[in-house]
Amino acid sequence: MVADSTRRLSPDSPIGDIAYLARSEHRIPALVALAERPRSRSELCELTGVSSSTIRRTLTEFEDRCWIRKDGCEYVATRLGEGTATEMDDLINWVETERMLRDVWHWLPDAVSKIPTETWAELNVTVADPDAPYRPVTRFESLLEETTMLRYLRPEVALMDPCFDILCQQVDDGVDVTLIDRPKCHAYFLSMYPERSSELLQRDNFTVLEHDQLPPYGTGLLDERVIISCYEQDSGVVQAVVDTDVSVVREWAHSIYESYRSDARPIESKQLAE
């Protein structure tokens, strides 16, 4: 077992080539650049930000592996080099997506883990952090401003309150809106914005429904885009939003929205009168 592990990690193994490319940040970008088109050594220096001597050594190492060949004053990727560049670039994109999803994985519905992994790169993940706690809300605002239709299951106060002015404007502009949330969330808006909330509820294109047993995450349908909002369980603070237009996610979102909508009820008349 020890001997086999040593063989796999040796410089002459596939993992050795992967380690070689990953050890210096300029190597994969240089190979990807050469796979795009022929380039001179000076171009590669400018593109990667490393010295001429470093690029010279890297190009020699690439040639030793048959990834590139020299053509006059330029270097050209071979088919081997093109394939290696593509696979490494795809791997980096995959790991970037995985790192983003890692931060929000425990908040996401199980359905996300079941969608084809090749579509994960098409998930746009916006996470709150100490320096930018409202980043997910800002992302939602930008999507809300562009939509012509909004259906949202469990939008929550922390997501909708900062966007209330935009929501009102969208309703005034004719955007068709349906919100399904818990009674206490609707009570908040009716108490905080009594006049504006009453005006909204008189509009034919604004519908508010209640449901007592909602999932821990939010699901929004904005035209062809889906938003999944991730909340801190106790406070309801928005930790992240994930948005995408991937068809398999849209199908899931429509299904779960309709399943809860069928059991939702209008706001009770006594709430409107208070």
pLDDT tens digits, one per residue of 236-272: 899 999 999 999 999 999 999 999 999 999 987 445 4
Task: Report residue 106's pLDDT band, with 50, 70 and 90 as the boundaries.
Answer: confident
Number of neighbours of residue 185 by Cβ within 10 angstroms: 23
Residues of the chain with CATH 1.10.10.10: 2-89
pLDDT over threshold 60, residue 5: no
pTM for this model (two decimals)? 0.75
3-state secondary structure of 258: helix
Q: How far apart are CA 68 and CA 82, in angstroms?
A: 9
Residues of the chain with CATH 3.30.870.10: 108-273
pLDDT tens digits, one per residue of 124-181: 999 998 999 999 999 999 999 999 999 999 999 999 999 999 999 999 999 999 999 9
Output DSSP code: residue 49.
T
Q: How far apart are CA 272 and CA 197, in angstroms?
A: 9
CATH number of 2-89: 1.10.10.10
CATH number of 108-273: 3.30.870.10
Q: How far apart are CA 23 and CA 20, in angstroms?
A: 5
In the sheet that holds 124-127, the strands lie side by side as: 124-127, 238-244, 225-231, 217-222, 149-153, 176-181, 206-210, 265-266
